[in-house]
């Protein structure tokens, strides 16, 4: 499915029949890196910059503040809980929690549940799916990904997940190999030639590939294969950072998740000292690493890694972490909103676009902590939170 279709879809669903009210959003409306204006209107669920005529003011709901295109979580697992797939009621609650935090567009980073039903719910965020994330037995969290018996199965599995998803496929590229005993460490799951074949298959199918990487070792193969996005990216060396910047491959640093690395190291303890040491080092360097990537010109995008062990609704916390790393607040806001939309091919606040926006009581470009408490969340033209 094209991203246009993803954006257009989901107009049906509960409450479709009663007309959405006209909204007047005023104050500062942030449109993108080069633009802002002082007002927009929402008519029939869509954005317009022309004031509607002949409306009685009683029919218009006014929202004052700083408005921006709905936030985007690039790394979110709706339908995944601590023990694997969750039921519909739980996935529904996850999606609502993300929405109430201002996330109106999610690129899922792999889910063991079929969440296609979410598209029928006008009150839930739009989801661009990556099918099931691809891993190997004993080389990822059990029950989370689709485990392939042989490495050579990856290209065919990528083709299947590309058909299942909405233009993205997620590959787990490295994980601890416990079979190495006391030498256990992060190692790649797939040989480079298999990765190259897998990425080529995805591209032929019109899909993009993102990859989970903690370690350095899987990265040369992924970059050579032409991977389209990197999750976590904690193992990027200085040279790789420059290459990623040059190629425009976005990195989703998931600092809320990387904050857990010290705990992972603790758990691994004396049994897996090499792994523990590496995780500890990456944890210590996390802010410096993200700041270096930003300064090198890497396109950073935001992902909460919610689902599994991380709670939903934490994208504002991720924004705060990226700002804490030293990325200017204005860049963090852009990354969380219009730059991510642009990357995914989903419109922001343009004339005629679906009205997905968030209104804040202050300018989040001055202080990203403002993102934690929106005054209003508008999805498909309706105030939903």
Q: Contact positions toward Zn ion, by CB under 5 A?
A: 109, 305
Which CB atom, from 252 or from 368, has the smaller least distance to Zn ion?
A: 252
Residue with nearest beta carbon to Zn ion: 305
Q: How far is the CB of 302 from Zn ion (least distance, A)?
A: 13
C-alpha 372/C-alpha 102 separation (Å) is 9
Q: How far is the CB of 321 from Zn ion (least distance, A)?
A: 16
Q: How far is the CB of 102 from Zn ion (least distance, A)?
A: 20
The residues, any chain, with a CB within 8 Å of residue 11's CB and separated by 6 or more, are 45, 122, 354, 380
CB atoms within 10 A of CB 142: 11
Q: How far is the CB of 73 from Zn ion (least distance, A)?
A: 11
For the record, the structure tokens of 271 come out as 């049994």
Which CB atom, from 134 or from 349, has the smaller least distance to Zn ion?
A: 134
8 A C-beta contact, residue 68 and residue 371: no
Q: How far is the CB of 55 from Zn ion (least distance, A)?
A: 45
Which CB atom, from 65 or from 145, has the smaller least distance to Zn ion?
A: 145
Which CB atom, from 119 or from 305, has the smaller least distance to Zn ion?
A: 305
Q: How far is the CB of 232 from Zn ion (least distance, A)?
A: 8
Q: How far is the CB of 75 from Zn ion (least distance, A)?
A: 6
Which CB atom, from 228 or from 305, has the smaller least distance to Zn ion?
A: 305
Which CB atom, from 37 or from 90, has the smaller least distance to Zn ion?
A: 90
For the record, the structure tokens of 156 come out as 């065919």
Q: How far is the CB of 41 from Zn ion (least distance, A)?
A: 38
C-alpha 36/C-alpha 29 separation (Å) is 5
Which CB atom, from 256 or from 346, has the smaller least distance to Zn ion?
A: 256
Q: How far is the CB of 344 from Zn ion (least distance, A)?
A: 17
Which CB atom, from 79 or from 381, has the smaller least distance to Zn ion?
A: 79
CA distances from 375 to 80, 175, 321, 331 (A): 29, 40, 22, 21
C-alpha 234/C-alpha 258 separation (Å) is 8
Which CB atom, from 304 or from 337, has the smaller least distance to Zn ion?
A: 304
């Amino acid at each position: 499915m094209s991203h246009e279709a993803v954006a257009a879809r989901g107009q049906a669903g509960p409450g479709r029949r009663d007309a959405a009210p006209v909204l007047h959003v005023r104050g500062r409306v942030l449109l993108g890196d080069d633009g802002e204006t002082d007002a927009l209107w929402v008519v029939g669920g869509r954005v317009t910059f022309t004031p509607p005529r002949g409306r009685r003011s009683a029919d218009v709901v006014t929202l004052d503040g700083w408005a921006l295109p709905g936030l985007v979580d690039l790394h979110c697992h709706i339908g995944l809980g601590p023990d694997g797939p969750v039921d519909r009621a739980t996935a529904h609650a996850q999606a609502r929690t993300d929405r109430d935090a201002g996330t109106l567009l999610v690129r899922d980073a792999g889910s063991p549940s079929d969440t296609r039903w979410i598209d029928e719910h006008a009150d839930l965020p739009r989801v661009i799916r990556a099918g099931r994330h691809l891993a190997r037995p004993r080389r990822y969290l059990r029950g989370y990904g689709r485990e392939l018996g042989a490495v050579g199965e990856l290209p065919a599995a990528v083709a299947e997940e590309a058909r299942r998803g909405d233009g993205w496929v997620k590959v787990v590229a490295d994980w601890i190999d416990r079979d190495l005993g006391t030498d256990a460490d992060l190692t790649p799951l797939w040989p480079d030639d298999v990765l190259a074949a897998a990425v080529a298959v995805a591209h032929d199918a019109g899909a993009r590939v993102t990859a989970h990487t903690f370690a350095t070792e899987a990265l040369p193969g992924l970059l050579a294969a032409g991977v389209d996005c990197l999750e976590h990216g904690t193992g990027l060396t200085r040279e790789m950072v420059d290459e990623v910047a040059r190629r425009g491959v976005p990195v989703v640093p998931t600092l809320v998740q990387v904050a857990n690395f010290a705990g992972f190291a603790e758990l691994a303890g004396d049994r897996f000292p090499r792994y523990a040491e590496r995780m500890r080092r990456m944890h210590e360097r996390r802010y410096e690493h993200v700041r270096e990537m930003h300064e090198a010109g890497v396109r950073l995008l935001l992902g909460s890694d919610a689902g599994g062990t991380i709670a939903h609704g934490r994208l504002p916390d991720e924004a705060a972490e990226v700002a804490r790393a030293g990325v200017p607040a204005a860049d963090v806001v852009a990354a969380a909103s219009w730059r991510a939309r642009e990357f995914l091919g989903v419109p922001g606040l343009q004339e005629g676009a679906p009205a997905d926006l968030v209104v804040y009581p202050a300018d989040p470009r001055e202080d990203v902590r403002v993102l934690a408490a929106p005054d209003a969340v508008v999805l498909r033209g309706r105030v939903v939170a």
